Amino acid sequence: MSGGVDSSAAAALLLEQGYDVIGITLKVWPQDCVTRSEDRCCGPEAVHDARGVSHQLGIRHYLMNEVEDFQKNVVQYFADEYKAGRTPNPCVLCNEKTKFGTLLRCARQLDAEFVATGHYARIDRETTPGRALLRRGRDPRKDQSYFLFSLQQDQLHRTLFPLGDLTKPETREVARSCRLNTADKEESMEICFVPDNDYGQFLTTTGLVQKQRGDIVDQQGQVLGHHDGVAFYTIGQRKGLGLSSPRPLYVVDLDPATNRVVVGDGDALDRDEFLVERCNWIPYPAPPARFEALTKIRYNHSGTPATVTPLADGRAQVKLHLPQRAITPGQACVFYQDDLVLGGGWICRATGG
């Protein structure tokens, strides 16, 4: 329970369905969130709201300190990816390692059979005997299945998503009908542990990344300017380059080995082929030799048709039917067949044109 309306409504719905519900809030950040620009899911106000909802619902509530695991599995990963010239997606790792990793272990200690969250996604246990399938949430505007693609079968089998068939307005109505004090609470769309969504400032003030002066070059290697480190840039970035040019320039490549930021025209961002690594396949133990799928290369991407060829080393070759802009190493690439999540992996290298 994060103290928001989604997890609050999820708890209320489970009670209505006859479940014995326990509320758990994970403390994942060591600093006092009162001093930050916003109070997020790790802060005192959020904990207070989660406890208040638990009291209203008449359920037990536990606050569990998972600062060390979160720091190692999510925050350190976040920094390491940027230093390696990749753009991370910490929400996927938080789900895999914390909410459905650490939290599942906590559930076992409390003799709880399932872990439930306020995600807008659905678990299908009926279609394929013995396997739990992951499907999009009914509300396309709130669907969060993209962030859950890396969950394994043992995690999916022990997971409940009570909000999977609801829209956000319907969720708020559930909370209002139960008179929960989180019913009209605003939600944050930013990374929960990064104040003001300024990841560069976060990386430097926490000491996770040190500034390292390097060259900004064009695709022919000509030096156009300088930067403070590849960790502070991402593919497709245009603002903040500090360059004077008669035409718009974008970051088209990051080379951590030489500490170079490569810039070019917008056309240089278009790619139609790339590799993904550390793939997870949900509907089947082993994927087909080749298949067609709607492919999302980032969360807010609408998806595009692609031919996917799984490889023997946990990677897959992705051939897009139409080139896409700013395919970014480090981002999750998720494959769909209608509303079914086939699986996904992590973008590791862009090729083709």
pLDDT at 31: 57
pLDDT at 200 over 70: yes
pLDDT at position 287 is 94
Residue range 242-246: mean pLDDT, rounded: 90
Q: Tell me the whole-structure pTM to 2 decimals.
A: 0.92
User: Is a pLDDT exceeding 80 seen at residue 195?
Assistant: no
Look up tokens 């810039």; give the residue.
Answer: 263
Please indicate whether residue 178 is annotated as part of the active site.
no
Instruction: Tell me whether strands 340-351 and 270-281 are parallel, antiparallel or unpaired.
Output: antiparallel
Active-site choice (42, 91, 94, 279): 94
Determine the average pLDDT of the residues in 226-241.
Answer: 94
Q: How far is it between the farthest Cα atoms of the chain?
A: 67
Domains 5-196 and 211-264 share a fold: no
Give percent of the chain above pLDDT 70.
94
Closest CA to 340 of 292, 297, 300, 272: 292
**Does residue 346 carry a pLDDT above 50?**
yes
Strand segments (E) across the chain = 22-27, 60-65, 115-116, 121-124, 133-136, 159-160, 214-217, 223-227, 250-255, 260-264, 270-281, 291-296, 304-310, 316-325, 332-337, 340-351
The single residue listed with the structure tokens 């390097």 is 214
Tally the C-alpha atoms within 13 A of residue 48's C-alpha that lie toward its C-beta: 8
Residue 35's Cβ-side half-sphere holds a number of Cα atoms within 13 Å equal to 4
CB-based contact 296:333 (threshold 8 Å): yes
Identify the pLDDT of residue 67: 86
- In angstroms, the CA 181 to CA 176 distance is 8
Does 279 qualify as catalytic in the annotation?
Answer: no
**Span 255-281, mean pLDDT?**
95
Residues 6+ apart with CB under 8 A from 291: 307, 308, 342
Residue 331 near residue 346, CB atoms below 8 Å:
yes
Rounded to an integer, the average pLDDT of 109-120 is: 94
Examine the pLDDT at 350 and tell me if it is beyond 70: no
Of 351, 264, 281, whose CA–CA distance to 315 is shortest? 281
The one-letter code for the residue type at 254 is L
pLDDT at residue 289, rounded to an integer: 96
Q: Amino acid identity of 97?
A: K
Domain spans of the chain?
5-196, 211-264, 269-351
Lowest mean pLDDT among 130-134, 164-168, 182-186, 293-297: 182-186
Best CATH choice for the domain 5-196 from the list 2.120.10.30, 3.30.1110.20, 3.40.50.620, 1.10.510.10:
3.40.50.620
Phi and psi angles of residue 75, each rounded to the nearest 5 degrees, phi first: -70, -45
pLDDT digits (tens, 9 = 90+) for 14-71: 999 999 999 999 888 765 443 443 445 556 788 889 999 999 999 999 998 888 888 9
DSSP of 129-140: TT--EEEE-S-T
Pick the catalytic residue from 33, 41, 91, 192. Answer: 192
Residue found by looking up tokens 């006092």 in the block = 32
> What CATH code is assigned to 269-351?
2.40.30.10
Read off the amino acid at residue 3: G
Mind listing the pLDDT tens digit for each residue in 62-83?
998 888 888 999 999 999 999 9
Distances (CA, A) of 230 to 135, 264, 346: 36, 16, 19
Please report the pLDDT score of residue 192 as a whole number. 78
- How much is the mean pLDDT over the chain? 91
Average pLDDT over residues 286-312: 96
* pLDDT at residue 3 is higher than 60: yes
Residue 319: the pLDDT is: 97
No. of helices (H) and no. of strands (E), the chain: 9, 16
* Separation of first and last alpha carbons in the chain: 45
Does domain 211-264 sit in CATH 2.40.50.460? no
> What does the pLDDT read at residue 221?
94
For 137-175, write each residue's pLDDT tens digit.
Answer: 999 999 999 999 999 999 999 999 999 999 999 999 999
